Structure 1
Amino acid sequence: MTSTSLDVERIRKDFPIFSRELPDGRPLVYLDSGNSSQKPNLVIETMREHLALHYSNVGRAMHVLGAESTEAYEGARDKVAAFVGAARDEVVFTKNASEALNLVAYSFGNPANTDPRFTLGPGDEIVVTEMEHHSNIVPWQLLAQRTGATLKWFGVTDEGRLDLADGVITERTKIVSVAHQSNVLGTVNPVVELARRAHEAGALILLDASQSVPHHPVDVAALDADFVAFTGHKMVGPSGIGVLWARAELLDAMPPFLGGGEMIEAVWMDRSTYAPAPHKFEAGTPPIVEAIGLGAAVDYLTGVGLEAIEAHERELTRYALEALREVPRLRVIGPETLEARGGTVSFTMEGIHPHDVGQILDDQFGVAVRVGHHCARPLHLRFGIPATTRASFYLYNTTGEIDALVRGLHHVQKVFA
C-alpha cells in the first residue's frame, strides 16, 4: 500500500499483540511507540524462520548455512541503506542508537585519529541542544571530560522549539549533535539549517534520527548530515540492533570502536590492520537475526509507505491536540500546532503526578503511555517540571484510541478532584 491513506484496521491485523486482551478483558490501547514500537508478523516470522532453518555465524563458515546467514545479514544492510538513501558501505550495524552515538564520540579527541576534523582539546567546542535524549548528551559530556573541550547547547523556547541564537556554533566548534525529532516535544528540528551553520564553521554534524526514521521519509543526503544514528526497535523491528550512517570518507578516517574478530584484516602479536568500513566497526559476532529482522521491518514500512505513515500520524496528532484541549488543567509541553512536529505529545495535569496518570490509565482503561522524564531530564528541568505523561502514535493507532486516552484523563481528573 503506497497511497497517502492507511487501512489501519488491516494494518492492525499484521500485529499479533493487538489480538490479545489485557486482564479483565480490556483491549490494549498502545500509545507508547516513541518508547518502543510493536512488531508485525513479517518481522516475527522472518526472525523465527532464520533461527529455525538458516542460522549460522556470518562471514566465516564455508558451508551452506554460513552462506545463507551472511547473505541475509548483508541483504539487510542493503535494505537499510536503500531506506535512507545511503550507500551500503556507509551503513554500520550497532546494538542500538546509543552505541552509534558513542561510536562517533569515541573518534573525537582519540589519539589514534590524526584527521584534523576529529582532533579535540581545550578551547574546542561540542554543541548539542537542551532537548536531547540522554544518549545524545552523556557521551559528549564524557568526551569533554576526557579532552578538556567545552560542551555548549542551544536552548529551547517556551513553545518547544530550538532557540537558534547566533554564537552557539563558532569557529571553535568541532561537532554538532542534535535530535532530528524530539522524543518528548515531537518537535522536528531545522537540521538542514543547522548543518549549514555547522559546515560553514568547519564542524561536522550528527543527527539522532531515532524518532524520525520510523515516521517520515528520510534521505541522508538531503539532510546534508555527516552522521545519522537510529534504532531498530522504534521502527517495528527488534531490539538489539541499531544503525550508524556516516559519509564513507569519515568512516575511513575513524579508528575502530571495538576490537576483536571480524573487524580485522590481519593480526600479528604486535600490531593489526583493519577491515574496511563498515566491518571495521562490527567486532565479534554481530546481532545477526536482529539485523535480518530490521531488514524485514524495512520491507514492511516500505510496503506501507512512509508518506502514508507520515500523513496518518499527522492526522492523529491534529486530532489529539484538539481532543486534549477538552481536558481541564492539562498543559501540552511542546508545539501545539502541526508545524514541524511529529506524533509525540507530552503533557502535565495540574496537581497530579504523571506516575499516577499513567497507572490509572493502564489499570482502568488499558491505555499504555510513558511517564517520567523520558531520558530527557535537562529538558524537563528547563520547563520546571519533574516529569510528563507522553502519548506517542504510529501507523497502527486510531482516533478511537485517542478518544480512550481522553476518557481516561477525564476520569483521572475526577479521581483527584
Structure 2
Amino acid sequence: MTLTREKTLADRIRSDFPILHQKVNGKPLVYLDNAATSQKPLLVLNTLRDYYEQYNSNVHRGVHTLSAKATDAYEAARDKVAAFINAASRQEIVFTRNASEAINLVAYSWGSSLQTGDEIILSVMEHHSNLIPWQLLAQRTGAVLKFVELTAEQEFDLEHFKSLISDKTKLVATVHVSNTLGCISPVKEIAAIAHEHGAKVLIDACQSVPHMPIDVQQIDCDWLVASGHKMCAPTGIGFLYGKLDILRSMSPFLGGGEMIADVFLDHATYADLPHKFEAGTPAIAEAIALGAAVDYLSAIGMDNIYAYEAELTAYLWEQLGQISEIQTYGPQPKVAGLGRAALAAFTAGDVHPHDLSTILDQAGVAIRAGHHCTQPLHRHLGIQSTARASLSFYNTRQEIDVFIAALKEAIEFFGSIFS
C-alpha cells in the first residue's frame, strides 16, 4: 500500500492563487516577500472584476440601483472588517488608502491637541510609517519623542518602557509585529500600562492582522491600523480602527465631499462616523475586495493560519541555522514555532543583501533586501541592511527547501569571488 502525505493548509488553497503558478527566470516561482505585500486569491480578484463589470457606481450619493448595490457592498465590507478585529461598532472602522494614511490621520487630527513638553513613546523598531508622522507632529507642537529599546532577545523591552512612561506621556504608538525582527510585542500589557498613566495607544498591526487573530477590545487599544494589500486584499485600501468616543472627539482630517452634513459659504457641519474621515470618492472596489479578503481569511480561520505559519517558521529557522555564514535577527521561534512572526531577516557574511536577492531571483526565489523601512532599527543593530524571507499560509516546506538550496549556492558563489 502506498502512503500519501497528508495535505497541508497550503496544499489545499494554493490553487486559489493564480500568480503562484508561474515560472520566473525559467524556474517555478517561490514567493517569500509576503511581509512587503501578499498575493490575492481568486475570490478577491473576481470581486474586483464583478464590481467593475456589474455595478460600478459611486456610493452613498445615488438612489439608482447600481449606486444602491455599490453602497451596500461597500458598507458590508466595513461590517466584515469590524467583525474581523472584534470592534464594538461598525462606526469604529474608517477606510483609508493604507496604514500610513491612517496613522497620519490620527497624528494630524488628534495630535493637534498636543503641547510643548507632552511625550510620545515609540520603539526603536518602528516602521517609518509609524515614526515620521510623529516626528512631524513633534516639530509642529514641541512634543518630545522617547524610544523603547530591545531586550537581549531583540524584543520590545517592557521594563524599559515602564521606566520611560510618565504622566507627561500622551501617546504610546508601537508596532504589534516587527517587519524586520518578527517579534510580537505585548500590546495588551503595553495598553494597560499606558492607560494607567492616562496615555492613548496606537497599534501598527500591518504584520499581525494578516497572520493571527486580533481582538481590539481585548487589546484595549485606542487606535489600530492595517493595510489591505498585506492581507490578501488589493493595494490602495487600509483601515483605521478607533474607539468611538475618541473618533467623535477628533476633528476631520481631509475636507471635501461625503464628510459633511450641511455646507454653507462660510462654514460647514460634519457627518457622523465613520464618514467624517472619508472625504471624497473612496476606493470603492478596493474596499469591497478587502471585505472579500476578510471572508477568505475568516473561512480558513486565523487560528489555523497562525498555527500553520508557526510550523513553517520553525522549519525556516532550523534550516537557516544550519548555514554557518547566516546571522539571523529577532527572537528564535519558541515551542512549535510560536512566539514570533513568519519571517526571518538575516545577513550572509560579507555578501550584500541586494546581491543575494539578485542571485536568488535567478533561481525563481523572491525575497526582500534592504532596510525594510526600519533604518533606525538597522542602525541600532549596527548593520546597514538585511535580507528577509517572509512567509504566508500558501507557502510550503518544499518552497523553503528551494530557497535554502538557492541561498547556499549564492553564498558559495560569492565565497569563491571573495576568496
TM-score, with structure 1 as normaliser: 0.95
Tell me by how many angstroms 1:167 deviates: 2.3
CA deviations over 1:387-409 (Å, ceiling 9, x no partner): 00001111100011111111111
TM-score, with structure 2 as normaliser: 0.95
CA deviations over 1:91-124 (Å, ceiling 9, x no partner): 00000000001111112342xxxxxxxx311111
**Whole-Å separation in 2 of the counterparts to 1:17 and 1:107:** 39
Tell me by how many angstroms 1:45 deviates: 0.3
For 2:174, the aligned partner's letter is: V
SS at match of 2:14: helix
Partner of 1:115: none
Cα contact 1:85–1:220 (8 A) shared by 2: yes
Cα contact 1:232–1:239 (8 A) shared by 2: yes
Structure 2 regions of 5+ residues with no counterpart?
A: 1-6
SS at match of 1:233: helix
Partner of 2:374: 376
Q: Is 1:196 matched with 2:198?
A: no
Partner of 1:66: 67
SS at match of 2:165: coil
Tell me by how many angstroms 1:6 deviates: 4.4
Q: Is 1:122 matched with 2:125?
A: no
Partner of 2:388: 390
Structure 1 regions of 5+ residues with no counterpart?
A: 111-118
Is 158-167 or 390-399 further displaced after alignment? 158-167
For 1:145, the aligned partner's letter is: Q
Is 129-138 or 8-17 further displaced after alignment? 8-17
Cα contact 1:109–1:121 (8 A) shared by 2: no
Pairing 1:347-366 to 2, within 5 Å after superposition: 347-363=346-362, 365-366=363-364
Cα contact 2:9–2:393 (8 A) shared by 1: no
Q: Is 1:235 matched with 2:231?
A: yes
Cα contact 2:99–2:206 (8 A) shared by 1: yes
Q: Is 1:342 matched with 2:338?
A: no
Cα contact 2:313–2:333 (8 A) shared by 1: no
Tell me by how many angstroms 1:8 deviates: 1.5
**1:405 aligned to 397, 403, 406, which one?**
403
**1:185 aligned to 165, 178, 181, which one?**
181
Cα contact 1:241–1:290 (8 A) shared by 2: yes
Tell me by how many angstroms 1:43 deviates: 0.2
Q: How many residues align?
A: 403
For 2:355, the aligned partner's letter is: D
Partner of 1:114: none
**What is the percentage of aligned positions where both structures have the same residue?**
52
For 2:45, the aligned partner's letter is: I
Structure 1 consecutive aligned stretches of length 4 or more whose deviation exceeds 4 Å = none
Pairing 1:40-59 to 2, within 5 Å after superposition: 40-59=41-60
**Whole-Å separation in 2 of the counterparts to 1:333 and 1:213:** 22
When residues 186 and 109 of structure 1 are mapped into structure 2, their CA distance, relative to the original with a 3 A threshold, is closer
SS at match of 1:266: strand
**Whole-Å separation in 1 of the counterparts to 2:287 and 2:145:** 34
Pairing 1:77-96 to 2, within 5 Å after superposition: 77-86=78-87, 87-96=89-98
CA deviations over 1:40-59 (Å, ceiling 9, x no partner): 00000011011101110000
Cα contact 2:18–2:41 (8 A) shared by 1: yes
Tell me by how many angstroms 1:74 deviates: 0.3
Cα contact 2:226–2:238 (8 A) shared by 1: yes
